[in-house]
Amino acid sequence: MKARIIVTLRTGVLDPQGKAIESALKSFGLNGIGNVRQGKVFDVELEIADRGEAETVLKSACERLLANTVVENYTIELS
Amino acid sequence: MRAAVLVFPGSNRDGDVARALRLAGAEVTPVWHTETELPAGTDLAVVPGGFSYGDYLRCGAIAGRASVMDAVRRHASTGGLVLGICNGFQILCESGLLPGVLMRNVNRRFICHRQHLRVERTDTRFTSAYREGQVIDVCVAHGEGNYFADDDTLARIEGEGRVAFRYCDASGALTADANRNGSLNAIAGIYSEHRNVLGMMPHPENFVEDLVGGTDGLGLFQSLAA
Rounded Cα distance between B189 and B97, Å, is 13
What per-residue confidence (pLDDT) applies to B28?
98
Q: Is the dihedral of CA B127, B2, B203, B83 positive or negative?
A: negative
Interface contact flag, A20 B108, Cβ < 8 Å: yes
Q: Which residue ranges make up each domain of chain A?
A: 2-78
How many Å from the N-terminal Cα to the C-terminal Cα in chain B? 8
What per-residue confidence (pLDDT) applies to A17?
87
* Domains of chain B, each with CATH number or no CATH: 2-225 (3.40.50.880)
CATH 3.30.1280.10, applies to A2-78: yes
Note whether A65 contacts B: Cβ–Cβ < 8 A. Answer: yes
| Positions of chain A with pLDDT lower than 50, given as ranges | none
Interface contact flag, B106 A14, Cβ < 8 Å: yes
What per-residue confidence (pLDDT) applies to A4?
98
By CB atoms closer than 10 A (0-12, 13-18, 19+), residue A47 is exposed
B20-64 per-position pLDDT tens digit = 999 999 999 999 999 999 999 999 999 999 999 999 999 999 999
**The model's pTM:** 0.94
What per-residue confidence (pLDDT) applies to A29?
87
What per-residue confidence (pLDDT) applies to A12?
87
What per-residue confidence (pLDDT) applies to A16?
86
The interface pTM score, or ipTM, of the predicted complex is 0.84
Note whether A71 contacts B: Cβ–Cβ < 8 A. Answer: yes
Going residue by residue through chain B, which has 226 residues, state the pLDDT in tens, using 9 for 90 and above: 999 999 999 999 999 999 999 999 999 999 999 999 999 999 999 999 999 999 999 999 999 999 999 999 999 999 999 999 999 999 999 999 999 999 999 988 999 999 999 999 999 999 999 999 999 999 999 999 999 999 999 999 999 999 999 999 999 999 999 999 999 999 999 999 999 999 999 999 999 999 998 999 999 999 999 8
Which of A8, A21, A65, A72 to mutate to test binding with chain B, by most B CBs within 10 Å of its CB? A65
Interface contact flag, A66 B106, Cβ < 8 Å: no
How many Å from the N-terminal Cα to the C-terminal Cα in chain A? 6
Interface contacts (A, B; CB < 8 Å): 36
What per-residue confidence (pLDDT) applies to A18?
92
Q: Which residues contact B103 (CB under 8 A, 6 or more apart)?
A: A13, A14, A16, A71, B144, B146, B147, B148
